[in-house]
Amino acid sequence: MIQFVDLKAQHDSLQPALSETILRVIDQSAFIQGTDVGQFEASFAAICGVKHCVSCGNGTDALYIALRALGAGPGDEVITTSHSWISTSETITQTGAQVIFSDTDSFFTIDPDSIEKKITQRTVGVVAVHLYGQPADLDRISSLCERFGLWLIEDCAQAHLATWRGRAVGTFGDAAAFSFYPGKNLGAMGDAGCVVTRRDDIARFAMLFARHGGKGNHEIEGICSRMDTLQAAILNLKLPHLANWNRRRNAAAVRYHSLLSDVPEVVLPTVRDGADHAFHLYVVRARDRDRLRAYLTARGIPTGVHYSRPLPLLAAYARLGHKPEDFPVSSAHAAQVLSLPMHPFLTTEQQCAIASAIREFYSGEV
């Protein structure tokens, strides 16, 4: 059985320690703000090489908290990518700011030229997404932000421990958001997320804001967004394996490349020069994508489409009145992208079967 993401294999590999950890948390019964939470925050900050990590309920909250910490609000414009999961843009709207979409480049990440064209007097910041695990063009994005006095938030939900010029993503912007949704490269057994930052002021605000603005004489009104002790304990157990799991994802990507590089109907993902890709997803651009996908599904090969529409063309953004021509690159990509099974426990045999089925589809095509 080929799985798109094989969480059971991951969890079986961690037994019996995983079950013991869960029983230990039940025994201690400090379900909110137990010692595992602070321990995870310290370990995750250390592994990323950043000063602060503030845990929270999920990756969407992490983005919202980071945006609020940077002061995004009514009257502001925040520029982000047209190709991502909706958390990236909906959290901008939640602050009261206006979301401004940019087109993407051949690596599926935000195009710096497109950012520059969208900057106005009202622009306050940029949210860049390291989509599929590939670092965005951080050199050019960082220098644009510097030149125009904009802050930068990195959406690292798909890119745990990916690096750019040897430095982990999440350390380049003013703040970064991570998700520990179960299927992410580092996943909890439910929802969890965090904000990381080198800035003391942002860490302090995030800590206050995510915990009701403090205790006793609450300094501000906040929200309730916390990482459960149980999730923190599970993440503490998994964190030492993350680098190795990412290596296994990269090895699987290399195998896909050698199995599929001579199939002309499929454009394989490339890694940006200077980047270390986390391969959260292995996304090809396939001719006749929807029929290929149906063919693979019928043969027991699960695939995904991330994502079928550029964000600005979703019904949720009809008010903006965008057309596909406004985002030529991401509109073309949305019609072609196909995510093949990708996880650290994928076997060579499974990948050979997937590649054979793809070849069969195109050779039988009329």
Ligand X SMILES: *Cc1c(COP(=O)(O)O)cnc(C)c1O
Of 246 and 351, nearer to ligand X (C-beta) is: 246
Cα distance between residue 283 and residue 130, in whole Å: 14
- The residue number with the shortest CB distance to ligand X is 59
Taking alpha carbons only, the member of 251, 269, 256 closest to residue 351 is 256
Of 54 and 259, nearer to ligand X (C-beta) is: 54
Asked if 44 touches ligand X (CB under 6 A), the answer is no
Asked if 155 touches ligand X (CB under 6 A), the answer is yes
Minimum distance, C-beta of residue 128 to ligand X, in the bound complex (Å): 11
The secondary structure of residue 196, as a DSSP letter, is E
Q: 70-74 long-range CB contacts below 8 Å, 24 or more apart?
A: 70/124, 70/125, 70/151, 70/153, 70/174, 70/175, 70/202, 71/124, 72/96, 72/97, 72/124, 72/125, 73/97
Asked if 87 touches ligand X (CB under 6 A), the answer is yes
Cα distance between residue 297 and residue 305, in whole Å: 13
Of 101 and 295, nearer to ligand X (C-beta) is: 101
Minimum distance, C-beta of residue 158 to ligand X, in the bound complex (Å): 5
What the block records as the tokens of 334 is 């949305």
**Segment lying near ligand X (by CB under 6 A), choices 83-91, 202-210, 223-231, 318-326:** 83-91
Site residues for ligand X, 102-141, by CB under 6 A, read 129
Of 87 and 134, nearer to ligand X (C-beta) is: 87
Minimum distance, C-beta of residue 215 to ligand X, in the bound complex (Å): 26
**What residue type is assigned to position 40 of the chain?**
F
Asked if 179 touches ligand X (CB under 6 A), the answer is yes
- Number of other residues whose CB lies within 10 A of the CB of residue 96: 13
Positions touching ligand X (CB under 6 A) are 58-60, 84-85, 87-88, 129, 155, 157-158, 179, 181, 191, 193
